[in-house]
Structure 1
């Protein structure tokens, strides 16, 4: 004996010519192309500045980090101190990046974009705080390299949120 619910579903399927799960209404279909024009435009307007900050941080820290990892591998625990100009560049750039990400997040409509920008801002602040502790001698210099790696993961989240807003898909990891 058919249950009342199953019988009703069968009658509806036969009467409409299709099952409720066979054809999705257009309103439920994934949008083609841009996922969110507003967020895409905001990402596009700020991308060069944000990417410039990320590249600056990466380039300054990467030289030291490569040296640290290589020497650590061979048992040499002597690390060069950060050049004061390099440290000032890191501090200024991380401040700039976190402010840009915070400001951009305020106007976003999608939760994914807001979350990616929040992580980017928070991780930039973490790199900034780590740089201050390295500068004061509280942390060893190579801690900044580890902090930068965390920022690299946030950069991937940022690129994926940007791609989702503009193209409706994600990109391959950048790091």
Structure 2
């Protein structure tokens, strides 16, 4: 399937509301719990998404589309949310994510990207050359993955309470690779 920018934008537009719908008005035990070890809570995931809005997707889009010959991306700090989110309420994070995403999407839409521009490349610190098409597709998939992660982490808080049903509740049987 070839990237249709409208499909990517639709996913990206929906994400803040989907996450708000999943997390609003929930008990802190669900929002702040994780899967053990170094895994992330839904609160942590939201902080991670906010950090990406500030330092990843659109910043890299601008590098790819910019006139500068140096197309190297800065490495992304996947753990910056632990410090950046400290002291913020869930509602503050939800609003910040909504605002940042809205602004980033307005910026993205204003570019009216052509197929030629979607094939332009930047240099990822791990992967090497990546196209704007790949970057934007990864942004949408990144959102979907974290929506699934939030759902999974919350579902696992009910593992003991569901009795014999885990056999049929596959979300409870998933083990994250990280």
TM superposition score normalised by structure 2: 0.36
In the superposition, the TM-score normalised over structure 1's length comes to: 0.36
Structure showing the higher helix proportion among its residues: 1
Task: Look at both structures and tell me which one has the larger radius of gyration over its CA atoms.
Answer: 1
Bigger fraction of residues in strand: 2
